[in-house]
Amino acid sequence: MSINTRQRPATTIALIVALLCVPGLAQAGKAEASKEALDQVQSRIESLKQKLDSTQEAHSDAADALKKSELAISEANRKLFELDLEQKANHNTLQSLQQQTSRLGSTIAYQQQLLGKELYQQYLNGQHSYLQIVLTQHDPSAVTRELQYFSYVARARADLISGLKTNLGRVATLNEQTSAALKKINDLKGLQEKQRMQLESEKAARKTMLVKLASQIKSQRGEISKLRRDEKRLSDLVERLARIVPAQPKPPKNHKDAGRSNNDVPTKAFSGSGFAMLKGRLHLPVRGTIANRFGTLREDSGISWKGLFIKAGDGEDVKSVADGTVVFADWLRGFGNLMIIDHGDGFMSLYGNNQALLRKVGDAVTAGDSVATVGNSGGNEEAGLYFELRRQGQPFDPLSWCVVK
């Protein structure tokens, strides 16, 4: 697009406006010049729309690639999350095995001590057989008592030896289980390292894609801005001709909570409560600063916000605000990795622009459960969470239900 092409509509419009300001000119000449200017501006707008369609198509291709990259990052983070849980479970198993081995070790040491004392006592008393006892004793009752004692001692010794063998076998088994648990932990560490490397690779690919997408978005916004300026010039000209000055609606003022920081998140204290009973008691799903609030105008489009954007640290846990069921966990254009939780009675909560989705469709969650991690998916320039509350499909102000601390 050349400089002369850009200046032509503006020059023509300026000429028409100037003509309108000169007293004494004929109304017919004014109308003819105005019609010519309108035709030129409308033609230029049509050309810009065609160029914008082309830009949006390229933008769509980049967004599709971004979707794949961010879904891969979310999946890699979810696998890391599951591996961490499995790693913790294996460490707990290992700790339990080590405790059992330690207790058995103490039991075995005690049994060995008893057996040692028994053998030493037998050594001191000398070796006596049943035959020797019968031949050396002349009192039948004494013989009976000696034989009973001998039998008792023999059984006790046999039980002690049997118990010792059993415990030694259990120790051997526990040692094998411990070795297996250690091997599994080491294998999991290898898997985690591999998953982290894959995650870094996906992040690098996403970064490249974001640069490409940002360039296309910048180009697209430039075209949109140019189109809007041209349309405004046309609108101004028509207004001057018709001598109509419509009242311009004022943008809504920022709520007193805009810019405030939230330092509290949902807990399981509200688990089990119906959603409708939680009005005024809900906590925002992530700690951070409320950058944009419900009803204010977006700077880039003039469209009002349907929820909150909360600036937060990359990777921070996103908590479910109440009990519910995950009904959507996927990538959605404009919202990146998005999770929607159904709380019943027509209430839903939406969590967008996440780095990773930790729950799947159909999962039941309770208030305070970690369901995602903060990110900037969907093409956002900064990390944060987009949060909405809806009833019967209609968004309403989350700050009218949530406590900001």
Cβ pair 318, 342 in contact under 8 A: no
Residues of the chain with pLDDT under 70: 1-63, 65-66, 97, 104, 108, 111-112, 114-115, 118-154, 156-157, 160, 163-164, 167, 213, 216-217, 220-221, 223-273, 298-303
User: How many angstroms separate the CA atoms of 332 and 197, rounded?
Assistant: 26
What is the SS3 assignment for 103?
helix
User: How many angstroms separate the CA atoms of 375 and 356, rounded?
Assistant: 8
What is the SS3 assignment for 115?
helix
What's the predicted TM-score (pTM) here? Answer: 0.49
Looking at residue 292, what is its pLDDT?
Answer: 86
**Strands (E) located in 254-360:** 261-262, 282-283, 288-292, 308-311, 317-319, 324-332, 336-344, 347-357
Looking at residue 322, what is its pLDDT?
Answer: 92
Looking at residue 15, what is its pLDDT?
Answer: 42
Cβ pair 355, 338 in contact under 8 A: no
User: How many angstroms separate the CA atoms of 210 and 217, rounded?
Assistant: 10
Give one DSSP letter per residue of 207-249, joined into a string. Answer: HHHHHHHHHHHHHHHHHHHHHHHHHHHHHHHHHHHHT--PPPP
Looking at residue 323, what is its pLDDT?
Answer: 93
Q: Residue 385 pairs with which residues in a beta bridge?
A: 310
Task: Name the helix (H) or strand (E) containing 384.
Answer: strand 384-391
For 59-74, the three-class secondary structure string (H helix, E strand, C coil) is HHHHHHHHHHHHHHHH
166 token code pair: 């059993």
Task: Name the helix (H) or strand (E) containing 370.
Answer: strand 370-374
User: How many angstroms separate the CA atoms of 356 and 359, rounded?
Assistant: 9
Looking at residue 5, what is its pLDDT?
Answer: 37
Looking at residue 378, what is its pLDDT?
Answer: 81
- Delineate the domains of the chain, giving CATH numbers in brackets: 1-127+176-248 (1.10.287), 261-403 (2.70.70.10)
Looking at residue 107, what is its pLDDT?
Answer: 76
Cβ pair 287, 265 in contact under 8 A: yes
Cβ pair 274, 254 in contact under 8 A: no
